Structure 1
């Protein structure tokens, strides 16, 4: 009996003659069936009663061998190995703690006087973020400069629009060139 895997365009002999290849029906459970259909990556594919998936697309841990030696899929198994991922699973990403390099040596012990948090005073930051008269003047100057630059941008945009209107296609542009008139109208002056 010749069976076809719905993931591949090739045909394999039945598992009766090849012990390494097993074929499995689509699951009846709607949630698992939906997972299988998303993994298959085939547009407008609807599995039938005779649709099978070969065992190459499952991990070795997804199978349970019966007492008679048959390979059965465990419930909830989803095909993960395909030609587009070269029949391998992606390596799991390391978390941030594993990716970041850390110092090999432990940090030096703190002196005894710094170990107690109660003894530490909360120091005020060195920066003064309040607005002094000098920074207020600078802020006003910057605001005036920004407004002047916005006006200049507006003027330049207006000039750009005027220049774009002048260069549009029109008879005035063609009037100076006999070749252009001949090209567009096929008339000779």
Structure 2
């Protein structure tokens, strides 16, 4: 009856560091060097990496803004194309449209929106005799 060799436990397999013949207070100072200064090359590399990451973030923000403008339906999207401005607004150019807007914007809060349903109701009321209103 052959028994398999006994496995050694984790405690026995652990690596044991060689004993230090130094004072524990001295060991503490060697492990924690709070007065050390970083190597200038390492600082320069980390600053370069930080600057590169900032540039990348700025580039990604610009791309995101461009994509959001493309996916929104707004006049700014068509500002570079006079043909598109003409198609959607019947103004010759974007500048003409903006000039018109600057003229009417102060009074825009007084404007009333009339829908086709409301306009039809108003017309039908206007054609009725006064006794039926």
The alignment's TM-score, normalised by the length of structure 1, stands at: 0.23
Tell me which protein shows more strand as a share of its residues.
1
Greater RCO, 1 or 2 (C-alpha within 8 Å, sep 6+):
1
Tell me which protein shows more helix as a share of its residues.
2
The alignment's TM-score, normalised by the length of structure 2, stands at: 0.32
